[in-house]
Amino acid sequence: MNLQKQQRLIIDALEDIKAQDIKVFNTTGLTSLFDRIVIASGTSNRQTRAIASHVAEQAKKQGLEVIALEGEDSGEWVLLDLGDIVVHCMQPAIRSYYNLEEIWGAKPVRVKLLSTGPARASGFDDDLFEK
């Protein structure tokens, strides 16, 4: 599965569970370990765990390997490593404190969000692929 299809799969899975403030960053050139970072917020520990679990489940259904799923015990910050894409599901306070957008945010990827709820308010254009 190509990178854009993986990205779309992850975004759709995040939106299924009502993840908020979804952001995608191109990390090509910053690291050789992965090509994308996806950051999303959940409103509670339970939702953050559910978001990560749902993304992992959907990825497995499409034949993607889940290399690591960490942080489910506390649910404050759950990291999902899918190889080319790393997904961070975080509580808003934890997300604000660690500010991963500042570290990885040099190249935001423009994606189409399907929801009209809080995720849409994150400032993405209606383009499916990065420009």
Q: Are 22 and 121 in contact (CB under 8 A)?
A: no
Q: In a 10 Å sphere around its CB, with 0-12 CB exposed, 13-18 middle and 19+ buried, how is residue 79 labelled?
A: middle
Cβ(75)–Cβ(46) below 8 Å:
yes
Q: Identify the pLDDT of residue 31.
A: 85
Model confidence, pTM: 0.83
The CATH architecture assigned to 3-122 reads 2-Layer Sandwich (3.30)
Contacts of 104 (CB under 8 A, 6+ apart): 25, 27, 30, 37
User: What are the pLDDT digits (tens) for 62-71?
Assistant: 999 999 999 9
- Backbone dihedral angles phi then psi of residue 34, each to the nearest 5 degrees: -155, 165
Task: Domain ranges for the chain, please list them.
Answer: 3-122
